Amino acid sequence: MKKIIIITAFIFGTFNAIAQIANVEEKFDLPIILSESSGAIFFNDKLIIHNDSGNENKLYELDTISGLVTRTVTVTNATNVDWEDIAQDNTSIYIGDIGNNSGDRTDLKIYKINKSDYLSSTNVTAEIINFSYSDQIDFAPNPNITEWDAEALISFDANNLILFTKNWVNGTTKAYSIPKNSGTFTIDSLTTTLSSGGLITGATYNPSTEKVYSIGYNSVLQPFVWVSENFTNNDVFSGTNTQTLLTSLGFEQAEAITYIEANRYFITSESFNIPPFSDNGKLVSFTTNDNVLSIREQATRVVSLYPNPVKDVLFINDLEFTSIEIYDTKSALAYRGYNQKINVSELNKGLYLVKINLKDHTYIIKKIIKD
């Protein structure tokens, strides 16, 4: 599990106020077995997720409707030293054992799994892509202040993967290209870096839009998404880089991102406990304006709670609910009612989860902060 620390300063990259991201929605809490989710892809109509360091060498298939894990696949010749991200192309799945919090690892690798093997068995054997950084000379351990930690991996083209390192000190992200064939490689950084304003923890390349979406969070666990586009060749940060803060999510340790189609994405977050705040891992979806939204996505309900933070009275802008429940961070019920206008003046200050039960027997979870 990663440690959360306060990062004192960042150099920010290109920021564009034009929003590309919409309909950000928390779908459900992840199952406990995925509380340390770190990477995700969408394949065969299922979300395939793995956990991070020290967990089992397994991939978990999550049904994004029911929220249930429906299948588990073991990579028999792999060890989860620090699995941080996962990527795919038409024929293979790539698991990045690339986490390096102390900057002293000499066994960095990517596991390559044939998709046919994955579909036909719950036990698979992977090819191994070993690598090291050409510009790393010092391997002395420097926990959480290294620039050789990586959490993001994308499949870029037929022959190459790209991984993103994160500099714990100044938030700079470098990109490195890696061949997709098994072997041992010394890899070079690409030309352009990204001053991300936080820690990049996952990424996905959408071939239908030719854009890279990177997820991460800043020093106060505010999640963000960077969109990189119009770049030159594989120098993915050389074009336009646009940051969007996912303020509606509140505090989240966002860890993974994957595309579903041209304009739909999933994010997973890891559970965290930083007193007085704690939260479960989540599955979050959002849409983009890269293409015209389908009728189904246009109809997606957007529910707003305001003001947030709130001091006295909380309002809900949706009429299609049956009841409202408010829970504190210890999962204790603090309120249950049926009105759009809720008096929260007597609640203690802090973070709360609001469960909005809908008429179609589904529900939406939102966060509020009580001042």
DSSP 153-195: EEE-SSSEEEEEEE-TTT-EEEEEEEESSSEEEEE-B-S--EE
Residue 249 pLDDT grade (very low, low, confident, very high; cuts 50, 70, 90) = confident
Residue 343 has pLDDT above 80, yes or no: yes
Residue 14 has pLDDT above 60, yes or no: no
Length of the chain: 371
Residue 18 pLDDT grade (very low, low, confident, very high; cuts 50, 70, 90) = very low
Residue 59 pLDDT grade (very low, low, confident, very high; cuts 50, 70, 90) = very high
Q: What local confidence, expressed as pLDDT, does residue 298 receive? A: 34
Lowest average pLDDT, out of 88-97, 105-114, 206-215, goes to 206-215
Residue 64 has pLDDT above 60, yes or no: yes
pLDDT (mean) for 339-343: 91
Q: Tell me: the pLDDT tens digits for 94-112?
A: 999 999 999 999 999 999 9
Residue 42 pLDDT grade (very low, low, confident, very high; cuts 50, 70, 90) = very high
Q: What percent of the chain has pLDDT over 90?
A: 63
pLDDT (mean) for 281-307: 67
Q: What percent of the chain has pLDDT over 70?
A: 88
Residue 220 pLDDT grade (very low, low, confident, very high; cuts 50, 70, 90) = confident
Please give the DSSP secondary-structure letter assigned to residue 293.
Answer: P
CA distance 174 to 96: 16
Tokens of 80: 């989860």
Residue 71 pLDDT grade (very low, low, confident, very high; cuts 50, 70, 90) = very high
Please give the DSSP secondary-structure letter assigned to residue 298.
Answer: H
The Cβ of residue 250 has, within 10 Å, a number of other Cβ atoms equal to: 21
Average confidence score pLDDT of the chain: 87
Residue 183's identity, in one-letter code, is G
Q: What local confidence, expressed as pLDDT, does residue 177 receive? A: 98
Residue 314 has pLDDT above 60, yes or no: yes
Q: What local confidence, expressed as pLDDT, does residue 118 receive? A: 97
Structural contact between residues 340 and 315, judged by C-beta atoms closer than 8 angstroms: yes
Q: What local confidence, expressed as pLDDT, does residue 232 receive? A: 92
Tokens of 171: 């938030």
Residue 134 has pLDDT above 80, yes or no: yes
CA distance 237 to 227: 9
Q: What local confidence, expressed as pLDDT, does residue 262 receive? A: 80
Tokens of 318: 């949706």
Residue 9 pLDDT grade (very low, low, confident, very high; cuts 50, 70, 90) = very low
Report, in angstroms and rounded to the nearest whole number, the Rg of the chain calculated over CA atoms: 21
CA distance 265 to 39: 13
Q: What local confidence, expressed as pLDDT, does residue 300 receive? A: 44
Using omega within 30 degrees of 0 as the cis cutoff, is the peptide bond preceding 223 cis?
no
Q: What local confidence, expressed as pLDDT, does residue 323 receive? A: 82
CA distance 259 to 44: 13
Residue 294 has pLDDT above 60, yes or no: no
Show the domains of the chain with their CATH numbers: 21-288 (2.115.10), 304-370 (2.60.40.1930)
How would you label 190-218 residue by residue, b for 16+ Cβ within 10 Å and e otherwise? bebbbbbbbbbbbbbbbeebebbbbbbbb
Using omega within 30 degrees of 0 as the cis cutoff, is the peptide bond preceding 307 cis?
yes
Structural contact between residues 322 and 350, judged by C-beta atoms closer than 8 angstroms: no
Name the phi and psi angles at 297, rounded to 5: -75, -35
pLDDT (mean) for 200-229: 92
**Can you tell me which residue has the tokens 């709670």?**
305
Residue 275 pLDDT grade (very low, low, confident, very high; cuts 50, 70, 90) = low
Structural contact between residues 336 and 325, judged by C-beta atoms closer than 8 angstroms: yes
pLDDT (mean) for 276-287: 86
pLDDT (mean) for 28-42: 95
Residue 11 has pLDDT above 70, yes or no: no
Residue 163 has pLDDT above 90, yes or no: yes
pLDDT (mean) for 126-136: 98
Residue 93 pLDDT grade (very low, low, confident, very high; cuts 50, 70, 90) = very high
In DSSP terms, 253 is beta-bridged to 270
Residue 192 has pLDDT above 80, yes or no: yes
